[in-house]
Amino acid sequence: MTSISTTQSPQRNLLQRVQETRARASEIEDTLDDHPYAEDQILLKVDADLSQEQIRQLAADYGATVGQQFPIPEVMKEKFNGQLLLLKTGASLSEAQTMAAMEGDSRVLLSAVNDQMELVNGVTAPRVNANGEPVTAEAGQDERLPNDLNPEQWALRNKNIRGGKDGADISAGKAWNITTGGGKNGPIIAVIDSGIDAFHEDIKDNMWVNPVESEKDGQDNDRDGFTDDVHGLNAVDGTGNIFDEVGHGTHVAGIIGAVGNNEKGIAGVNWDTQLMGVKIAEGERVSLIAAINGTLYATERGARIANHSWGGPRRNPILEDVMASSPMLHVCAAGNAQQDSDQHPFFPAGFDSPNIISVGASTRRDDPLFFSNWGANTVDVHAPGARVFSTLPVHEYDELSGTSMASPHVAGVAGLIVSKFPDITNEEIRDRIMFSSDPLEGMRQLSVSGGRLNAFRALEDDKIAPADITGLKVTGTSADGFSISWNGVGDDGMEGKAARYELLADFGDKQQRLIPQFPKGSGEKEVFNFQTNPLDVERPFSLKLNAVDNVGNRSGVATTSGVMPAAEVPLSNNFDADDNWTTEGTWGKVAVEGRGLVYSDSPEGPHEPGSDTSLTSPAFSLKDMRNATLSFDAKMTTNKYDFLFVEVSTDGKGWKNLEVLRQDRTPGYDQWGSYKMDLSKYDGQEHVQIRFNYEPSNKSKEDGVMVDNVKVISAKNVGGEA
């Protein structure tokens, strides 16, 4: 990478660089179109050794000025290894053009736009309890309950709750027998949100107090650039006014640390703690600059844990770097979009860093909350998030729902863990929270842990790991999977039952985390069946398996390996040789450079408007087959009203639609794309045919459709499944 030369005029150099990076700027522009961001601003991470004069020159080289330079806390400097800037760009270049031009500059380490994010809104619901009347909670065996545990707080104690399931809670009563929080000597928990009502009757005694700004006197006593930041920072306007006009942050704060046993309102997960308010939103819109400033502020002032009940769908590399470099544990709401975060990530919860925990929401019946995001690899754990009763500004209380409410339950339990084990690492806290969670079959495929938060199990003082696994072997293979078995182990050696098994598969070109069933118990035969799409080549694989207990102690790693055989290929044709495909209408073969012969609906030039033509495969058999898959290449030079129907028949007469391709479902106009379609519905059929039926509109002539490399592969049933 090279910096812009100074031997020519800066303007001429910049224009030349912009011309050279036009294609890259277009790519960046495409990624920015879907989600809002602040215009004329770019976040920049630059080399740590640049002087202030060199930073000003860097900005000037791109027609920009330095709007802000973020102070990096001492504890972050080594890991962050750079300087963080906000550039104000000139009117002559777009954000995408500037970022593309900077990619060749050795002074620039990262760049990103100033994304606009949002609070993960809580949904209000009417409050009810078992009898419609206040009830007094009575402590059960091994429980310690405060005198202000509200019966609406099912997340902490779910017993005789209307519409609830006894025990579908975080076992707070048992956890409080071990610790109720570290108080003024315990961890500082930053609530990075819409602010906190620091004078709420049930929160004020648990607010963190800046030791150098102990009273509001209109002075910046600690000379940090922020006036009267007594209980935290308003990172939006740079003052100490953290009052919460929205209510979101105050609700989150109450879940984490409403004062316990004070005969008022509710009890937090921590009865006695230090809550730092960091306001990054006025209204529902989150300022990314405020979020970064707030994270740096909380880190500088010693916060151990931060809760982030906000986010957005675009990965911002600057925010990711800041959070990963901070020594805080970041507990993040997984989002309320009702979608798979493995496929549609939500950030910052989706950042892959050992100091980030992503939290989905559960209900009082231990079901996933219907609008919570999930992700077998990107959501770590579920926690109560449906109709959660907590504090609101001006001494109010009410219920809200969402992952915004689930995340602070985890942040609160993290606070209890640090209070009990002050020297614990972020990775160890994360392990305790995930593997101590209560295993729930309905969540096994929805998060890494497959469970719902359990505070009591997370606080166990256990140093004995599960026994090493014996008897691991491959018991069967097929083109679409394999089976393995092993001897179950315990929680402590061979005693009890392990919390989870961790299974990692290496297929040569990729590693994949697999999800076994929950452990049966010590000495039990454990079995796992893996299934995937078949391929027409052999696939060697190797496996690593270990057991883990509820606090993260792990057994040794057992290994084994095997080979999945190549799939059957009932149909395959690249059309270079003679074939027995049948055509109707104008379909015929044409030569394409780099491909050889392919089929085209209009080999003599653009098709006629409204033509209806088809290309049909010979019959093939899927008898004794399973998991059949169709693949092919296609190129569509069409308009948006032209359709390619991919159809299937089991008798050569009746045709059923498998999928429809059109311009907006392809890689783009006049481009080749590869497609895969599930044919498993036709497994076992002796007569199967594929047909490509092209139906263009009556509006225009186009070159139409080309098809190549049609293949059907499937796994063979041999004595049952693998």
Q: What share of the chain is helix, strand, coil (3-state, %, to 5)?
A: 20, 30, 50
**Amino acid, single-letter form, for residue 313:** P
Question: What does 319-373 look like in DSSP terms, one character per residue?
Answer: HHHHHHHSSSEEEEE--SS-SBTTTS--BTTT---TTEEEEEEE-TTSPBPTTS-
Q: Which of 276, 174, 179 minimizes the C-alpha distance to 231?
A: 276
Compute the distance between CA of residue 149 and CA of residue 268 in angstroms, rounded to an integer: 9
Q: Is 534 helix (H, G, I), strand (E, B) or coil?
A: coil
Question: What does 625-691 look like in DSSP terms, one character per residue?
Answer: EEEEEEEEEEEEE--TT-EEEEEEESSSS--EEEEEE-GGGSS-TT-EEEEEEE-GGGTT-S-BEEE
Compute the distance between CA of residue 469 and CA of residue 362 in angstroms, rounded to an integer: 32
Catalytic option among 105, 171, 202, 248: 248
Whether the CB-CB separation of 318 and 112 falls below 8 Å is answered with: yes
Pairing relationship of beta strands 83-88 and 37-46 according to DSSP bridges:
antiparallel
Please state the φ and ψ torsions of residue 690, each to the nearest 5 degrees.
-110, 140
**348 preceded by a cis bond (ω within 30 of 0):** yes
Catalytic option among 115, 193, 229, 321: 193
Task: Give the position of tokens 């740096």.
Answer: 296
Question: What does 292-309 look like in DSSP terms, one character per residue?
Answer: HHHHHHHHHTT-SEEEE-
Q: Is 470 helix (H, G, I), strand (E, B) or coil?
A: strand
Locate 98 and state its tokens: 């500037």
Q: At a CB cut-off of 8 Å and minimum separation 6, what does 308 contact?
A: 192, 193, 291, 330, 331, 332, 333, 348, 349, 407
Whether the CB-CB separation of 368 and 335 falls below 8 Å is answered with: no
- In the beta sheet, which residues pair with residue 630? 677, 712
Please state the φ and ψ torsions of residue 73, each to the nearest 5 degrees.
-60, 150
Locate 580 and state its tokens: 């027995």
Catalytic option among 372, 404, 447, 483: 404
- The CA angle 250-254-259, to the nearest 5 degrees, is 130
Q: How many other β-carbons are positioned within 10 Å of the β-carbon of residue 197?
A: 26
Active site residue 404: yes
Q: How many other β-carbons are positioned within 10 Å of the β-carbon of residue 164?
A: 19
Compute the distance between CA of residue 475 and CA of residue 721 in angstroms, rounded to an integer: 11
Active site residue 248: yes
Whether the CB-CB separation of 392 and 250 falls below 8 Å is answered with: yes
Whether the CB-CB separation of 350 and 315 falls below 8 Å is answered with: yes
Catalytic positions, written as ranges: 193, 248, 404
